[in-house]
Structures are given as C-alpha cells and as structure tokens.
C-alpha cells in the first residue's frame, strides 16, 4: 500500500500551528496561579492596557501576537458570541476580553467547574478600556460553563 500526501493550504497550516501553540501553552500556565499566557493581535492597544492592569495587580504575563485568535478561542472552548479582542490562559482557565483582576483572583480561589471568564463587547471603563474623562458603563463578567453556556460571575458599574 502506498501512502498518499494530503495537500494543505497555508491557512490550514497556520491554524494547526496556532492550535498546537495554544495546547502547548496550557500545560505550564496551569501550574502557576499568577502567570498569564495572553494572545492578542499585533494592532490591539487596549489589550496591552489590560495586560498592564493585570501586571499592576501582581500577575505575570507572557504575550503572544497572532494574526487571528479564532483558533485559540475554539481550542479553549470560548463561544464565538463571547469573542473579544484578546484571550488569556491562567490556572487551567481561559479569560476572554477585559476581565478585571479581582474577578480572576476570585475564579482562581473558588475554582468552579467552568471553562473560564469573559467580558464581551469591550465595555467602557473596564480594565484596558478606561477613558480620559472617566466614562464608565455597567458590565458583567460571565462564567463560561462547559458546553458553552454562561452565568453572571460578577457585576461592575
């Protein structure tokens, strides 16, 4: 029996490589409770501001820039409806969007059976989305449940 090669497109190879990177990144991050693996696109400034917020709160952050976050979100179980501008991994959980450090600390302390936390839609006043005039809008941090459901984890005003 002869072997056949399957042609792969450049896009498929990039997606597989990104997925492999995401899976490989999970193992070491799961052991250090204050170490974040952050995935963002190269042009996102608010993501950098969120990382600054997390570092100021005592978290360590390792940043990886990717052309797209779709693959890592899919690999980590983040529903598309919750997709935001950056994805982070910590302690066996995924963080999607501008999740406050206090919510991450609570998640790691309580260790609920869940995929992670999400703050969809980049609300004004959330960490990394601060405005010079201090404008804020109320928002919720959602707990992402296994299977893709959510429930409110915290409310912020």
Q: What integer pLDDT is reported at residue 135 of this predicted model? A: 92
Query: 134 in helix, strand or coil?
Result: coil
**Which pTM was predicted?**
0.78
* Helix 45-56 vs helix 101-110: crossing angle, to nearest 10: 60
Model confidence pLDDT, tens digit, residues 92-122? 999 999 999 999 999 999 999 999 999 998 9
Split at pLDDT 50, 70, 90, the class of 81 is: very high
The C-alpha atoms of residue 4 and residue 120 are separated, in whole angstroms, by 44
Model confidence pLDDT, tens digit, residues 38-75? 999 888 888 899 999 999 999 999 999 999 999 999 99
Task: Locate the domains of the chain by residue range.
Answer: 30-156
Model confidence pLDDT, tens digit, residues 66-78? 999 999 999 999 9
Closest by alpha carbon to 75, among 23, 117, 116, 12? 23
- Please give the class, per CATH, of domain 30-156: alpha beta
Closest by alpha carbon to 10, among 21, 22, 18? 18
């Amino acid at each position: 029996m002869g072997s056949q090669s399957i042609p792969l497109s450049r896009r498929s190879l990039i997606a597989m490589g990104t997925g492999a990177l995401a899976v490989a990144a999970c193992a070491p991050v799961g052991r250090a409770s204050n170490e974040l693996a952050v995935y963002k696109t190269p042009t996102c400034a608010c993501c950098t501001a969120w990382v600054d917020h997390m570092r100021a709160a005592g978290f360590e952050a390792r940043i990886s820039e990717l052309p797209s976050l779709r693959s890592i979100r899919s690999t980590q179980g983040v529903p598309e409806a919750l997709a935001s501008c950056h994805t982070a991994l910590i302690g066996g959980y995924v963080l999607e969007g501008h999740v406050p450090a206090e919510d991450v600390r609570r998640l790691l302390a309580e260790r609920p059976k869940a995929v992670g936390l999400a703050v969809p839609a980049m609300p004004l006043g959330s960490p990394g989305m601060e405005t010079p005039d201090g404008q804020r809008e109320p928002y919720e941090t959602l707990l992402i449940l296994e299977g893709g459901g959510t429930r409110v984890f915290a409310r912020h005003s």
